Amino acid sequence: MAHGKSLRIIGQSLEAARLGAFELKMDGAAYVVTSDSLSTSGEWILRHALSSNDHPDQGNGQSPIARSVSFDSAALSRLDDQVRKQRRSDSAPNTQAYSRLSQLLRALGDHLDRADVSAFHIFWTPASVSVDFRSKGHSDSRTFTPAKLQQLGSHSRFRRSSGSRLDSNPRSFERAK
């Protein structure tokens, strides 16, 4: 799964937990979110979202005060399916496109995908986003403002929508000239 999609899914969970400041890093195939500002109720929301309905969390030995949660590929797929079903039942359009945490994380993830990033560590606050990453054997870092991520998201959305239209019917572009 691409970073953009994975980070959007994680962002949706973080929105539900009302988490505004956190660290997010890749740990092998999993994404790990850590925060000192994670409330007890926020942590419960995240752990509940991450537990499969077939196996409720029955005292797995983790402290209820743990300040990190891990999103593996199975959890990301399950959360994406849940949100997709919910979106189908919602009839109201999303008017807050790139102001929501999930969409800002998606924009950052799309940027990381385009840079072919293999590992990263994100430091997220409401005022700035710093990311250390490894791409093609080189390490680098960038800092973004939420406004810059909104711009990246708008450009990414344009590329996705233009690309899908052109790919589905290449002649439609020729007629539009």
Phi, psi of 24 (to 5 degrees): -135, 130
Q: Which of 37-46, 60-69, 89-98 reaches the highest mean pLDDT?
A: 37-46
Is residue 124 within 8 A of residue 15, CB to CB? The reply is: no
Query: CB under 8 Å to 67, separation ≥6 — which residues?
Result: 34, 35, 36, 38, 43
Query: Which residues are bridge partners to 27 per DSSP?
Result: 30
Give me the domain span that covers residue 103: 3-176
Overall domain count for the chain: 1
* pLDDT class of 50 with cuts at 50, 70, 90: confident
According to DSSP, residue 95 is labeled S
Q: Which residue has the tokens 């979106």?
A: 87
> What's the pTM value of the predicted model, to 2 decimals?
0.75
**Position with higher pLDDT, 10 vs 156:** 10
What is the pLDDT confidence band of residue 108, given thresholds at 50, 70 and 90?
A: very high
User: Has residue 111 got a pLDDT over 60?
Assistant: yes
Cβ(80)–Cβ(126) below 8 Å: no
Strand partners, 132: 121, 141
Q: Looking at the predicted structure, is the pLDDT value of residue 38 above 80?
A: yes
Under a CB-based contact definition with an 8 Å cutoff, are residues 155 and 163 in contact?
A: no
